[in-house]
Structure 1
Amino acid sequence: MFFGSPSKTVETDTHAPGTVTMTDSTSPDPLFSISDRVTIVSGGSRGIGKEMAAGFARRGARVVVTGRNAETLDATVAEISGETGGPVRGIVCDVAQPDDISRLVEQVITEFGRIDVLLNVAGVNRRKRVEAVTEEDYDFILDINLKGAFLAAQAVGKQMIAQESGTIINVDSLNTYAPLKGVAPYAMSKAGLVMMTRSLATEWGEHGVRVNTIAPGFILTDLTRKLWSDPVMQEWGLGNTPLGRLGEVEDLVGAAVFLASEASAFMTGQVVRVDGGFTSGLLWPIPLDD
């Protein structure tokens, strides 16, 4: 098993008859390796972004975590670095600010010489009925979720075009396909992210740059566990998810590792839904005919 805690396999040592050696059966298949890949994780100081950054660091990637709050970012970098022992760097960056993004890319290139992966995770939401949404609400959500993702991809994409390789992974939402009440601007921003993915994939494929999207379902994180501890929410969420459970961040890490690795070398412009089947159809609470 590639993901998870290492296990050992007993093998006969042909150089010493009658003895056995312990070998690591979880050594990553090179096809799925992301070791040493310079990876920027936007919005990586909390929630899904934080766990994705940690997941990549555990697998040997050189991770650069970005966020808007320096204190939170420093704590995240210290936590991930302490756990994984890998090279983890934190850079304060507001993806809605072009100057911040330019500075980010410049710093990463100066330090590492290249950018292999961009994980566009930064995202915000405000739950309001449509008639209550203000222009400030709208701009706040769209500026970070869509404009920020575009600006980050544009800046990083220029470097990837120059080096003739790279992978951009955007993080979408099930709201693109089954919008929930009270999140219209958020759903709109995420739907735009899908068309952005396809457009960039179409333009940049000739330069060896791949662009794909992950669309998470209901994922348990430190920020959402309180919400999903509510029995009513649990009944609704589990009742509408064919796999019968909520997602763990590791479910997303697996998809992201696949998209960042050579295993998906012929894949671009696509959306991978990691939602337990939530958007596959409706679960009808009516007994079947005998």
Structure 2
Amino acid sequence: MTDLFDLTGRTALVTGSSRGLGQSLALALARAGVRVTLHGRDGAALTAGADLLERETGTRPATVAFDVTDAAAVEDAVGRLLAEQGVPDVLVNNAGLQRRAPFTEFSVADWDAVIASNLSGVFYVSRFVAPGMVERGSGKIVNIASVQSVLARQTIAPYSASKGGVAQLTRGMAADLARHNVQVNTISPGYFATEMNTDLWQDPEFDAWLRQRTPARRWGRVEELQGTLVYLASRASDFVSGQNIFVDGGMTSVV
């Protein structure tokens, strides 16, 4: 059975992987034997992320810097990456951001930023990687969404819209790509104690609410996403496509 999960020698591009949740996902793949390319916009953060993976795995990952919201920049950078390294076996679309404000006060600029980063960026990167996977006849694309792909909370309506869009984009991609042996799936994390959620997990009131609302009665740990990613990146999931897998301590299963 372990052969089904063997990723030795495969390659992967993980967007938004210089820190936080994305870094943990990249580390999981690297520990499984994948040759990982880290992505970010900040060169210093990318170097620090590469240093960490090298310390943890003994192998230094490649890095690439571009803005996922700039279609021309994505096409240029991904084109160079494919020319230098070939088409990755695995693409993980993790890059994203959060903005919070009441709906009636949410600025157009912040709406545009959230949708561009969380949804359009997934389309842009996938659009320029997928043709090579189709030509090769194999590939795995894993899009990172959120429990907000099916739930909503006050002050984050655009974020919920963007993550719901990711889940539907995943299904649409699967409909077109599954026939070419390219599987596309979504991982939707619940609440994890990450840098993006610092204001939340440091808020005693929200912390108490979260622990009461989640059947597991705690925050998620970033390493708890790693097994799901390895599964979706491996041959074990070759007949799984278009799915949205919730790693949320049971949050979306209860009222």
TM-score, normalised via structure 1 length: 0.84
Please tell me whether the aligned partners of residues 57 and 87 of structure 1 are also in contact (alpha carbons under 8 angstroms).
no
Match of 1:271 in 2: 244
Residue number in structure 2 paired with 1:194:
167
Q: Distance in 1 between matches of 2:125 and 2:136?
A: 17
Return the match for 1:250 from 223, 228, 236: 223
Segments of 5+ residues of structure 1 without an aligned counterpart are 1-27, 283-290
| Whole-angstrom distance in 1 between the partners of 2:124 and 2:214 | 34
CA distance in 1 between counterparts of 2:127 and 2:230 reads 22
Corresponding residue to 1:237 among 185, 195, 210: 210
**1:73: which partner in 2?**
46
Match of 1:111 among 51, 62, 84: 84
Partner AA of 1:74 in structure 2: T
Do residues 170 (structure 1) and 175 (structure 2) align? no
Q: Which of 1 and 2 has higher RCO (CA within 8 Å, sep 6+)?
A: 2
Q: Distance in 2 between matches of 1:159 and 1:143?
A: 24
d(CA) in 2 for partners of 1:261, 1:171: 17
Letter in 2 for 1:219: F
Unaligned 5+ residue runs, structure 2? Answer: none
Q: Does 1:46 align with 2:19?
A: yes
Regions of 4+ moved over 6 Å: none
Deviates more, 1:157-166 or 1:219-228: 219-228
Tell which deviates more after alignment, 151-160 or 97-106.
Answer: 97-106
Is residue 75 of structure 2 the alignment partner of residue 102 of structure 1?
Answer: yes
How many angstroms does 1:170 deviate by?
0.3
Does residue 147 of structure 2 align to residue 147 of structure 1? no
Structure 2 letter corresponding to 1:218: Y
Equivalent residue in structure 2 for 1:160, among 108, 126, 133:
133
How far did 1:222 drift? 4.6
Contact 2:214-2:250 within 8 A present in 1 as well: yes
- TM-score for the superposition, normalised by structure 2: 0.95
Q: How many residues align?
A: 255
Aligned counterparts of 1:137 and 1:200: Cα–Cα separation in 2: 27
Write out per-residue CA displacement over residues 65-107 of structure 1, whole angstroms, 9 at most, x where no aligned residue.
1111111111111111222112411111111112222233223
Structure showing the higher helix proportion among its residues: 2
Instruction: Say whether the 8 Å CA contact 2:87–2:129 is kept in structure 1.
Output: no
Q: Which amino acid aligns with 2:166?
A: L
The aligned residue for residue 262 of structure 1 is 235
Give the match for residue 179 of structure 2: 206
Deviation at 1:223, TM superposition (A): 4.7
Note the C-alpha offset of 1:164.
0.9
Q: Secondary structure at the match of 1:212?
A: strand
